[in-house]
A and B are shown apart, each in its own frame.
Chain A
Amino acid sequence: MNFESSTLSLLRIHRCLLALLVVTIFIASCKKSEEDPANQPYGRITFRFDQMIDGKPVVKNQLLYTNAAGNQYLVTDVMYFISDITLYRNDSGSRMIKDWQDIFYIDDAIPSTLVHPFLDKIEPGIYDSISFIFGITEEKNKSFMFVNPPEVNMAWPSVLGGGYHYMMINGKWMDTTGLLMPFNLHLGIGQLYHGTGYNTDSIYAFVQNFFKVSLHGSSFTLNDRDSLVFRLAMNIERWFEGPHLFDFNQWGGDIMQKQPAMQVVKENGADVFTIQPVTRLPAKY
């Protein structure tokens, strides 16, 4: 072997590799120019949630209320999910809120859950209405999808259909003997049982009780860089009236294994929510 020539070859290889390195680093450092999405017009919206009874903010733990069936009751907890919020444009298009979250948890005892600023950048325009799913659709309502409090506390047992409660309104009502009895107005996946009891072994089918809520009077106009706040109110007394009367003395305090009772609540739920006038906040982008 000729050592001198091999040394020269090595030096040539060394130079080539150095050149290769410099070129590669240069290429790696070049960036493609991209269209700046910040230049696209958009606005944003926020939902604020209120819990009302008879047109006023709910006062918890006080026996102040009477429902349409004549039951005196008090409320201790209000927790629920809404999902798939959809904005309908006047040109027949629609836009679902889903860029960050599509399922929203509201808990009267946790202030941070009462305001949901959506990350979605909404195209400016005229919108006719807003709708949402009360609860969670069958496709999305899967057990163990929430593992952290507070959402995890809404878990619905797998044997009863799985997923999560759509709603928990807990409180007490005064029964016909004058005793204050606890109630758990819980809505979730219902079950159909063989026979008359509620033995889980006799379940033969499940019923999805989520439903769509179309908000009346929810049209709005969104301009570029607008930030709109909607106040959404759950009128709790409406769960107990029209089209059906809900009487605690008839259904008892617990309904999560009573599909007929949940059906009544579900059908009453269509007009439970109302939307308040829009607040237009200063642009903050």
Chain B
Amino acid sequence: MVVSKPFRSASSEVKGPVIFLGFLLLFQLTAFDVFAQMNQDTLMLQEVEIIGVNKKGFREILIRAPRIEYAPVRDIGDFLRQEPNVAGIRKGGVSIDPVVRGFKYNQVSVLLNNGVKIEGGCPNRMDPVASHVECENIDQIEVIKGPYILKYGPVMGALINLQTARPHPWETPSIHGKVLYGFESNWNGQREHIYLEGGNKRVFFNAGGGFKGYGSYTAGNKELYNSSFQKLYGSAGLGFAIGAKNSLIVNYLYDQGKNVRFPALPMDERLDQTHVASVNFTSENISKTWERLQFQTYFSLVHHVMDNLNRASANTMQAVTTVDARNVGGKLVTVHKAGDHSILAGIDYEDVWKNGEKVMTMKMIMEGDTFISVKHTNVWNDAGYRNAGLFGEYMVPLKNTELTAALRFDYNQAHSQDTFRLVKDGNSYFDKTASAFFNVSFGLGARIRLLHGFYLNGALGLGTRSPSLLERFIKLMPVQFDSYDYLGNPQLKPEHNWQADLSADWRHPEIGVFSVGGFFSLITNYITGKVLPPSVIKPSTQGAPGVKQFYNADAVYLTGFEVTWQSPASKQWFCTLNAAATWGIQPDAVRYVVSGGQVTDQESVKNDPLPEIPPLEGSVRGGYRFFKNKLIPSVTVRLVNAQMKVSESYGEQTTPGFVTAAIALRYSPWKFISVTGGIENLFDTPYYEHLNRRMIGSTNPLYEPGRVFYVNAIFRF
């Protein structure tokens, strides 16, 4: 949307000593998963905020493309799990669903390029938003914890803003490119990527694409997990500079997943096709006080097909689900400055539509005859919502203090053409499908400089999100971790997150950056599931023990902390220490007593831990820059505590703690070539993350990959 990069000169990129040094640093700092964060952060300390707290007082992680390029990354969700208090839900080899500070699913807003949204097709979240964009296309990832940034749409718990590579003007006519090849042992994973960009001051372009093919991986416990997948993707962009102040950029992105296996889900992804197109117009420095005007419109379409044809369950009943999802929207933003005061205001609009069908086929051989019964049911039936937003942000520097205030109003209207109704004994479970909500969100942030290099940061906010189409209208699909079939609830109310953050950071050229912070969230109208009796409705998915329906529970709360230390940028050695944890409590929960496969009673559980909360975790990353950054070895050790605080009401299982190690070596003999090699899970540790789903039809966990040798080679021109 925004051409925020300065005009780049091809020659100056190489000749300018300062930029060259920066480039070299950037190059060296981003090698492996092991230490890239630290390197990147160290570099960026001199430029913009990277990790810790931004100048608005909000905790933020900023990851640039080179760090991602050198790592053996299969998808963005997997990559983000390295960050403090960012975890992911693994269901297969790819498409890991990010969880930030215990917020998950639609509580985390994931978007592209400051506003482009994608509605995933799969009810099981085989295709979370981040899975529709390949990491090779990423230019920058921004993770903001908390409901404080409201200019990109409603945000409840966290925001993940994925910036893809977009065309930009060139001072002199140029064409440049990049070729990447990566290989991983264990699951014989290969990825190939090619990227071109160029143009001149007036017209500029980029285009890229690639392929990924991975087999099944063997975990540290020597078991083979059916986790193979294939991805094919491409993107193109064309930009025009209109006069000195205006630019118009058109982008298109295609992403396809094929035969993606999910051993922890009842089905596999047969095909997932994503089309994303956007148009961005920006006008800058319009007048002395009018800084910027931006207009963005986008269209995204997802076609998703999944089935159980590779599963044993298909012997008795085959199931194929096809879903089409569409998201169309746009926004208009204007930014004004008056002295030190900065005001941003805008409107945005989003129209989401979803339609899907499940076809079940049962083959019966009885008394010598073969009978086939087929049932068609809709998963969503022409369902959708429209969200119109009005937002504003105000920033002002006071004495030693940066203050930010953001306010947002949303009008959300949902609809569905469902003919399905569930009213029994006077109880209405699924009836009236229309709903409309007026939501208010706000964020306040302050960053106070107490001493030289020492900052105190505070933030307070309310994030409100309307229920998703899944929570409103899904019909009998196992969409959460507990294997129950879930039924939507069209009359759900919006979920609110009242959150406060408090942190301090100390920056010293010889000591580095030390940052410590904590947060508290009170979530009201918490959306979760409760069991419906089989006399009301029965599951339609094999293996589902029953049906749960979404409802608004009483308030729950989340609390946690993050501590980070980064070594000073001036040293040849580097080191980063991270520790983070989140705790979640549901004060009043219900546990169902199951006897002989039947619910025989229900009990109240006080202060039940929330499900799917990652345990306390720490990591150490360190290394050394040899030969003017041409050779950089590094090591990472990750220590994860056991998760014993598990949800009794959900029947969640505990997870043992583990320690893993990884080593990496990056060699960059010339600026145009770089080769990275390394070993992940060095000691072939058998382990699984607490958020990894259980293998379908069992309580056995889905283990993480065992030892993996990898190599990434990048050639630039």
Residues of A at the B interface (CB closer than 8 Å) are: 1, 3, 6-7, 10, 13-14, 17-18, 21, 24-25, 28-29, 31, 98-103, 112-113, 115-117, 119, 143-149, 152-153, 155, 157-160, 162, 184, 254, 256-257
Q: Tell me whether A21 and B598 are in contact in the complex, defined as CB-CB below 8 angstroms, given that A14-B444, A148-B539, A155-B364 are known contacts.
A: no
Contact present for A158 and B596 (CB under 8 Å): no
Contact between B373 and A143, CB atoms less than 8 A apart: yes
Across-interface contacts of B398 in A (CB, < 8 A) = 7
Give CA–CA (A116, B535) in the complex, Å. Answer: 14
Docked Cα-Cα span, A10 to B543, in Å, equals 56
Chain A nearest CB, measured from B302 CB (Å): 27
Residues 112 to 142 of chain B near chain A (Cβ within 8 Å):
none
Contact check, B542 vs A144: say whether CB atoms are below 8 A apart: no
Question: Sorted from nearest, which 6 A-B pairs have the closest CB atoms?
Answer: A157-B371, A112-B596, A102-B535, A158-B373, A254-B367, A98-B535
Let me know if B600 is at the binding interface, CB within 8 A: yes
Sample 19 A-B pairs with CB under 8 A, ordered by A number.
Answer: A6-B341, A6-B396, A21-B460, A25-B498, A29-B555, A102-B534, A119-B599, A144-B360, A144-B540, A147-B317, A147-B360, A147-B539, A147-B541, A147-B542, A148-B543, A152-B542, A155-B373, A157-B371, A254-B367
Residues of the A chain whose Cβ atoms lie less than 8 Å from the Cβ of B632? none
When the two chains form their complex, are residues B396 and A10 in contact, meaning their CB atoms are under 8 A apart?
yes
- Within 8 Å by CB of B544, from A147, A159, A257, lies A147
Chain A minimum-CB-distance residue to B476: A147
Query: For chain B, what secondary structure do more than half of its interface residues adopt (helix, strand, loop), or is it mixed?
Result: strand
Docked-complex contact A157 and B341, CB < 8 angstroms: no
Verify if B597 is at the interface (C-beta below 8 Å from A).
yes
Q: Which of chain B's residues has its CB closest to A162's CB?
A: B373
Q: A100-B535, A144-B540, A146-B538 are in contact. Are A25 and B522 (CB under 8 A)?
A: yes
Q: Once bound together, how far apart are the Cα atoms of A56 and B600, in whole Å?
A: 30
Q: Evaluate contact between A3 and B598: CB separation under 8 angstroms.
A: no
Task: Determine whether the beta carbon of A10 is less than 8 Å from that of B394.
Answer: yes
B533 touches A100 (CB 8 A): yes
Interfacial chain B residues near A146, Cβ < 8 Å: 538
A182 closest partner in B (C-beta): B367
Interface footprint category on B? 35 or more
CA distance A99 to B598 in the complex (A): 12
| B496 → chain A closest CB, angstroms | 8
Closest to B460 in A: A21
Assembly CA distance A246 to B697 (angstroms) = 43
B480-505 contact mask (Cβ, 8 Å, vs A): 1 or 0 = 00000000000000000010000000
CB distance from B371 to the nearest CB of A (A): 3
Flag if A147 contacts B540 (CB, 8 Å): yes
Chain A residues closer than 8 Å to B545, beta-carbon distance: 148
Nearest chain A CB to B2's CB is how many angstroms away?
A: 26
| Residues of chain A within 8 A of B595, CB atoms compared | 117
- Whether B555 lies near A28 (C-beta < 8 A) is yes
B47 within 8 A of A: no
- B460 with A101: CB separation less than 8 A: no
- Give chain B residues whose Cβ lies under 8 Å from the Cβ of A254: 367
Q: Bound complex: CA of A101 vs CA of B596, how far in Å?
A: 13
Residue of A nearest to B531 (CB): A100
Chain A residues near B242: list those with CB within 8 A: none
Given A3-B340, A152-B316, 18 more pairs with CB closer than 8 A: A1-B338, A3-B339, A10-B405, A13-B405, A17-B444, A100-B599, A100-B600, A101-B533, A101-B535, A116-B598, A119-B598, A147-B540, A149-B316, A155-B364, A158-B371, A159-B371, A159-B373, A162-B373
The reply to whether B403 and A10 form a contact with Cβ atoms under 8 Å apart is: yes
As a 0/1 sequence over residues 646 to 673 of chain B, the CB contacts with chain A under 8 angstroms (1 = contact) are 0000000000000000000000000000
Report how far A232 CA is from B553 CA in the complex, Å.
40
Question: CA of A160 to CA of B366 in the docked complex: distance in angstroms?
Answer: 11
Question: What is the minimal beta-carbon distance from B378 to any residue of chain A, in angstroms?
Answer: 14
Task: Please indicate the chain A residues that have their CB under 8 angstroms from the CB of B195 in the complex.
Answer: none
Q: List, in ascending order, chain B residues with CB within 8 A of A119's CB.
A: 533, 598-602
Give the contacting residue for B600; candidates A1, A117, A148, A158; CB below 8 A.
A117
Residues on the A chain within 8 Å of B425, using CB: 98
Inter-chain CA distance A29–B595, complex, in Å, is: 35
Q: In the complex, which residues 200-234 of chain B have their Cβ closer than 8 Å to any Cβ of chain A?
A: none
Residue of A nearest to B360 (CB): A144
Q: How many angstroms between the C-alpha atoms of A3 and B405 in the bound complex?
A: 16
Q: How far is B538's CA from A155's CA once the two chains are assembled, in angstroms?
A: 15
B644 contacts chain A at the CB level, 8 A cutoff:
no
A1, A100, A162: which contacts B598 (Cβ < 8 A)? A100
Closest B residue, CB atoms, query A160: B371
